[in-house]
Structures are given as C-alpha cells and as structure tokens.
C-alpha cells in the first residue's frame, strides 16, 4: 500500500527519484502512464497486470468509450526500471501531459503512486479537503 505525500525534483535528464520507502516495490520495474486529473500513475508490474486484466474483462471493445479509455492508459504506458539510485526516467511526452518541469509532488494513492505538478496538486487537494464530507456521502454504503 502506498501512502503519504513527498516532494522530489526531476533531474536534467527527466529522471525522478522514487521515495526510499517505496523503492523495493519497484525493484523489478514499474509502468508509468497518463493518470486522471492531469497527473501520472505509477504502478508496480503486479498491480499493472491486475489493472489490465480488469480492463480486459470489464470494458467491452465494442463500445467506443471503452476503447478510448483503454487507449488513454495503454498508448501512454511506459515500462521503467529504477536505476541503483532509485530513479526512473519519465518520458518527455508524459512530463508534458502532467506539466512536470522540475518539482514533482509524489503521492501514495493506495495501489499506485501519482506524480503531480505541485501547482496542480495544491488546488486539487484543497478541493478534495473542502468537499470531503460530500464525497464521503457518495460512498455511504461502505462500512468498516
């Protein structure tokens, strides 16, 4: 499970150092792809495999919206393997999509990491924080 918020910096080659506490999870590699809300998603291979199986099972290719949704994730997906310093290369087209230039906010989002331009993350977080009760009401049938 990935938790927390971290501030990191892209180097001049577009490499991002993963938080030390998560590096072991990505030692065999990862998949970086376009995420929702203007960020990037980083999945372990194991989670990516589960994600792709769910999409294959649940999204009928006969529906245009399903094909578009699959294209969104798969066309932008890149295999990455961290180097010895725990850095992964974020391809230029993905950096452009997420508006990543130098500073990057990395958030743990349970089954994945999300990579955010800090200027996009701040208002997104503020919006979620100010609407947390309304959002929670939509999931009222979830019990612990």
Q: Report the CATH number at residue 33.
A: 3.40.1550.20
Q: Largest Cα–Cα distance of the chain, in whole Å? A: 47
Note the pLDDT of residue 96.
Answer: 98
* Residue 89 placed within a domain: yes
Number of domains in the chain: 1
* 44-84 pLDDT tens trace: 999 999 999 998 888 888 899 999 999 999 999 999 999 99
Note the pLDDT of residue 136.
Answer: 83
* 81-129 pLDDT tens trace: 999 999 999 999 999 999 999 999 999 999 999 999 999 999 999 999 9
pLDDT at residue 39 above 80? yes
Question: Residue 125 sits in which domain range?
Answer: 5-138
Strand-pairing partners, residue 10, are 16
Q: Which sign does the torsion angle of CA 112, 113, 115, 116 carry?
A: positive
Q: Considering the entire predicted model, what is its pTM?
A: 0.92
Give the residue from 13, 12, 17 showing the smallest Cα distance to 113.
17
* Residue 10 placed within a domain: yes
Coil, strand or helix at 107: strand
* Residue 40 placed within a domain: yes
Note the pLDDT of residue 143.
Answer: 64
Note the pLDDT of residue 56.
Answer: 86
Give the residue from 39, 50, 48, 93 showing the smallest Cα distance to 74.
48
* Residue 144 placed within a domain: no
What does each C-alpha distance from 88 to 10, 40, 44, 55, 131 come to in angstroms? 10, 13, 13, 25, 34
Note the pLDDT of residue 134.
Answer: 86
């Amino acid at each position: 499970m990935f938790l927390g918020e971290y501030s990191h910096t892209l180097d001049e080659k577009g490499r991002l150092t993963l938080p030390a506490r998560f590096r072991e999870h990505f030692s065999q590699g990862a998949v970086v792809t376009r995420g929702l809300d203007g960020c990037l998603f980083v999945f372990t291979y194991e989670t990516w495999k589960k994600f792709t199986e769910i999409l294959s099972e649940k999204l009928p290719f006969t529906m245009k919206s399903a094909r578009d949704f699959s294209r969104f994730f798969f066309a932008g997906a890149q295999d990455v393997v961290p180097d010895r310093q725990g850095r992964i290369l974020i391809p230029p087209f993905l950096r452009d999509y997420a508006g990543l230039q130098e500073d990057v906010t990395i958030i743990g989002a349970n089954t994945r990491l999300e990579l955010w331009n800090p200027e996009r993350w701040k208002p997104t977080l503020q919006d979620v924080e100010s609407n947390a009760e309304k959002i929670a009401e939509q999931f009222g049938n979830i019990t612990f």
